[in-house]
Amino acid sequence: NAGVMQNPRHLVRRRGQEARLRCSPMKGHSHVYWYRQLPEEGLKFMVYLQKENIIDESGMPKERFSAEFPKEGPSILRIQQVVRGDSAAYFCASSPLEGFHSPLHFGNGTRLTVT
Amino acid sequence: DQQVKQNSPSLSVQEGRISILNCDYTNSMFDYFLWYKKYPAEGPTFLISISSIKDKNEDGRFTVFLNKSAKHLSLHIVPSQPGDSAVYFCAASAGGANNLFFGTGTRLTVIP
């Protein structure tokens, strides 16, 4: 499967625990974007990364949330001390290049439930 | 601040008829517009796009129209098929960046 791969598909965490969401971009894509979709809402941009660099994290909450895209391995979105309001679907997308318009390709998401 | 708006949360259309989904935006810097289709428990799938230098783009049964002066775009699906039933998201970006701003989606139901 050459598409964007996200795991796990479903993640249940208790309040206060940590959640780690993984994303492997499409082959040949070096740009990764994380989006969050709350119930009955559209997708909201969180963070844009290239390998080893955070380019734009303007949509990510300042506290408890962090993201990385290491030289080797998948991109990780990390949520510390989860709260019920973090329950949402988290989508990762990738693109090949920046500087010209190309559609983002999305994974099937990770649905996080905080109990 | 919702920069991309889809004011119709749902739309029902008879099979074989035309589906028209609408989208408005407020940011005049947007120069690239896309439509995505989303099925439950799946990620959004790219459908069709249009650059601001054009006012129409067509791909098979799907046509996107852009009215820059009105800051409005629409997606036409004709003829509509039951498999088109999904949530459709309008999205926009600016200045060569691929970061997208999404609308809240319109749920299309095509009735056989």
- Is the CB of B42 less than 8 angstroms away from the CB of A109? yes
With CA atoms as reference, the chain B residue closest to A106 would be: B43
How far apart CA A56 and CA A114 sit, in angstroms, is 26
3-state secondary structure A21-88: EEEECCCCCCEEEEEEECCCCCEEEEEEEECCEEEECCCCCCCCEEEECCCCCCEEEEECCCCHHHCE
> Residue B85, SS3?
coil
When scoring A32, A54, A98, A101 by the number of chain B Cβ atoms within 10 A, the one with the most, hence best to mutate, is A101
The verdict on a CB contact (< 8 Å) between B43 and A104 is no
- The per-residue pLDDT for range B68-97, each reduced to its tens digit, is 999 999 999 999 999 999 999 999 998 766
Chain B interface residues (partner A, CB cutoff 8 A): 4, 6, 31-32, 34, 36, 41-46, 49, 51, 89, 93, 96-105
The predicted model gives A82-87 an average pLDDT of 96
pLDDT tier, A100 (very low <50, low <70, confident <90, very high otherwise)? low
Q: What percent of chain A clears pLDDT 70, i.e. is strictly above it?
A: 95
